[in-house]
Protein backbone atom coordinates (compact mmCIF):
# COMPACT_ATOMS: atom_id res chain seq x y z
CA UNK A 1 0.00 0.00 0.00
CA UNK A 2 1.08 3.55 -0.69
CA UNK A 3 2.83 4.66 2.55
CA UNK A 4 0.96 7.97 2.44
CA UNK A 5 -2.31 6.08 2.91
CA UNK A 6 -1.29 4.51 6.21
CA UNK A 7 -1.57 7.72 8.24
CA UNK A 8 -4.81 8.75 6.52
CA UNK A 9 -6.44 5.36 7.13
CA UNK A 10 -5.36 5.56 10.79
CA UNK A 11 -6.89 9.05 10.95
CA UNK A 12 -10.15 7.78 9.45
CA UNK A 13 -10.28 4.94 11.96
CA UNK A 14 -9.69 7.43 14.78
CA UNK A 15 -12.40 9.79 13.50
CA UNK A 16 -14.86 6.92 13.22
CA UNK A 17 -13.93 5.63 16.70
CA UNK A 18 -14.57 9.10 18.14
CA UNK A 19 -17.92 9.09 16.34
CA UNK A 20 -18.76 5.82 18.07
CA UNK A 21 -17.73 7.35 21.41
CA UNK A 22 -20.01 10.34 20.77
CA UNK A 23 -22.93 7.96 20.23
CA UNK A 24 -22.06 5.79 23.22
CA UNK A 25 -24.69 5.87 25.97
CA UNK A 26 -27.15 7.91 23.89
CA UNK A 27 -30.73 6.71 23.60
CA UNK A 28 -32.44 6.14 20.26
CA UNK A 29 -34.35 9.35 20.92
CA UNK A 30 -31.12 11.30 21.37
CA UNK A 31 -29.47 9.74 18.29
CA UNK A 32 -32.56 10.61 16.20
CA UNK A 33 -33.11 14.09 17.68
CA UNK A 34 -33.19 16.87 15.08
CA UNK A 35 -32.84 20.22 16.89
CA UNK A 36 -34.89 23.21 15.71
CA UNK A 37 -33.13 24.97 12.85
CA UNK A 38 -30.96 21.92 12.04
CA UNK A 39 -31.82 19.46 9.25
CA UNK A 40 -30.13 16.30 10.52
CA UNK A 41 -29.19 14.31 13.61
CA UNK A 42 -26.30 12.33 15.08
CA UNK A 43 -27.14 9.00 13.49
CA UNK A 44 -27.74 10.57 10.06
CA UNK A 45 -24.26 12.12 10.24
CA UNK A 46 -22.78 8.70 11.06
CA UNK A 47 -24.59 7.14 8.10
CA UNK A 48 -23.50 10.04 5.91
CA UNK A 49 -19.82 9.40 6.72
CA UNK A 50 -20.21 5.90 5.34
CA UNK A 51 -22.25 6.84 2.27
CA UNK A 52 -20.04 9.79 1.34
CA UNK A 53 -16.82 7.77 1.64
CA UNK A 54 -18.30 4.97 -0.43
CA UNK A 55 -19.48 7.44 -3.07
CA UNK A 56 -16.30 9.51 -3.22
CA UNK A 57 -14.03 6.47 -3.39
CA UNK A 58 -15.91 3.52 -4.85
CA UNK A 59 -18.64 4.97 -7.07
CA UNK A 60 -16.23 7.52 -8.58
CA UNK A 61 -13.91 4.64 -9.48
CA UNK A 62 -16.74 2.61 -11.03
CA UNK A 63 -16.60 0.03 -8.23
CA UNK A 64 -19.44 -1.55 -6.24
CA UNK A 65 -19.95 -0.24 -2.72
CA UNK A 66 -20.31 -2.37 0.38
CA UNK A 67 -23.59 -0.59 1.13
CA UNK A 68 -26.91 -0.97 -0.65
CA UNK A 69 -28.25 1.56 -3.11
CA UNK A 70 -31.01 2.32 -0.59
CA UNK A 71 -28.47 3.05 2.16
CA UNK A 72 -26.48 5.29 -0.17
CA UNK A 73 -29.65 7.12 -1.28
CA UNK A 74 -30.69 7.74 2.33
CA UNK A 75 -27.36 9.23 3.46
CA UNK A 76 -25.76 10.73 0.35
CA UNK A 77 -24.99 14.46 0.23
CA UNK A 78 -28.09 16.61 0.14
CA UNK A 79 -30.29 14.21 2.10
CA UNK A 80 -31.69 14.43 5.61
CA UNK A 81 -33.38 11.99 7.97
CA UNK A 82 -36.88 10.98 6.94
CA UNK A 83 -37.75 8.74 9.91
CA UNK A 84 -36.36 7.76 13.28
CA UNK A 85 -34.07 4.74 13.17
CA UNK A 86 -34.49 1.73 15.44
CA UNK A 87 -31.91 -0.35 17.27
CA UNK A 88 -31.20 -2.59 14.28
CA UNK A 89 -30.49 0.26 11.87
CA UNK A 90 -28.38 2.10 14.45
CA UNK A 91 -26.39 -1.08 15.15
CA UNK A 92 -25.79 -1.56 11.42
CA UNK A 93 -24.47 1.99 11.03
CA UNK A 94 -22.21 1.61 14.06
CA UNK A 95 -20.80 -1.63 12.65
CA UNK A 96 -20.25 -0.11 9.19
CA UNK A 97 -18.35 2.84 10.61
CA UNK A 98 -15.32 0.64 11.16
CA UNK A 99 -15.86 -2.27 8.78
CA UNK A 100 -16.18 0.05 5.78
CA UNK A 101 -12.79 1.61 6.56
CA UNK A 102 -11.22 -1.84 7.04
CA UNK A 103 -12.57 -2.84 3.61
CA UNK A 104 -11.36 0.44 2.09
CA UNK A 105 -7.88 -0.20 3.48
CA UNK A 106 -7.86 -3.71 1.98
CA UNK A 107 -9.09 -2.40 -1.37
CA UNK A 108 -6.42 0.32 -1.42
CA UNK A 109 -3.82 -2.41 -0.88
CA UNK A 110 -5.26 -4.24 -3.89
CA UNK A 111 -5.00 -1.02 -5.94
CA UNK A 112 -8.61 -1.28 -7.16
CA UNK A 113 -9.18 2.44 -7.76
CA UNK A 114 -7.34 2.94 -11.06
CA UNK A 115 -10.41 4.06 -13.02
CA UNK A 116 -11.17 7.07 -10.82
CA UNK A 117 -13.36 9.69 -12.54
CA UNK A 118 -12.25 13.26 -11.71
CA UNK A 119 -14.86 15.62 -10.25
CA UNK A 120 -15.22 18.71 -8.08
CA UNK A 121 -16.78 18.45 -4.62
CA UNK A 122 -19.43 20.84 -3.38
CA UNK A 123 -16.60 22.51 -1.42
CA UNK A 124 -14.78 23.36 -4.65
CA UNK A 125 -12.09 20.71 -4.15
CA UNK A 126 -11.11 18.96 -7.38
CA UNK A 127 -10.41 15.25 -6.93
CA UNK A 128 -8.56 13.82 -9.92
CA UNK A 129 -7.64 10.40 -8.53
CA UNK A 130 -7.91 8.13 -5.50
CA UNK A 131 -4.87 9.78 -3.88
CA UNK A 132 -6.70 13.09 -3.79
CA UNK A 133 -9.89 11.37 -2.61
CA UNK A 134 -7.95 9.78 0.27
CA UNK A 135 -6.63 13.25 1.14
CA UNK A 136 -10.16 14.74 1.07
CA UNK A 137 -12.05 12.14 3.11
CA UNK A 138 -10.52 13.03 6.55
CA UNK A 139 -11.42 16.71 5.99
CA UNK A 140 -15.03 15.80 5.23
CA UNK A 141 -15.26 13.34 8.11
CA UNK A 142 -13.73 15.79 10.58
CA UNK A 143 -16.34 18.36 9.65
CA UNK A 144 -19.19 15.90 10.28
CA UNK A 145 -17.56 14.73 13.50
CA UNK A 146 -17.81 18.33 14.69
CA UNK A 147 -21.50 18.35 13.78
CA UNK A 148 -21.96 15.13 15.75
CA UNK A 149 -20.26 16.67 18.81
CA UNK A 150 -22.49 19.75 18.65
CA UNK A 151 -25.61 17.63 18.15
CA UNK A 152 -24.67 15.51 21.17
CA UNK A 153 -24.56 18.62 23.32
CA UNK A 154 -27.97 19.69 22.01
CA UNK A 155 -29.51 16.23 22.44
CA UNK A 156 -28.42 15.88 26.08
CA UNK A 157 -29.75 19.22 27.35
pLDDT in tens, 27-76: 999 999 999 999 999 999 999 999 999 999 999 999 999 999 999 999 99
pLDDT in tens, 96-130: 999 999 999 999 999 999 999 999 999 999 999 99
pLDDT for residue 157 is more than 80:
no
pLDDT for residue 2 is more than 90:
no
Query: Is 3-155 in CATH node 3.40.630.10?
Result: no
What residues does each domain of the chain span?
3-155
Three-state SS at 127: strand
pLDDT score recorded for residue 86: 98
pLDDT for residue 156 is more than 90:
no
> How far apart, in Å, are the Cα atoms of 51 and each of 15, 103, 115?
15, 14, 20
pTM score of the predicted model: 0.96
How far apart, in whole angstroms, are the C-alpha atoms of residue 59 and residue 56? 6
Amino acid sequence: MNPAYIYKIQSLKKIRSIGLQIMQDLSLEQLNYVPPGINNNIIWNAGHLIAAQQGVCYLRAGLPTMISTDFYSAYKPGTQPVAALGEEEVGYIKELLLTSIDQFEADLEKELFGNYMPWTTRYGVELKNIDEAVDFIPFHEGMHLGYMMALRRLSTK
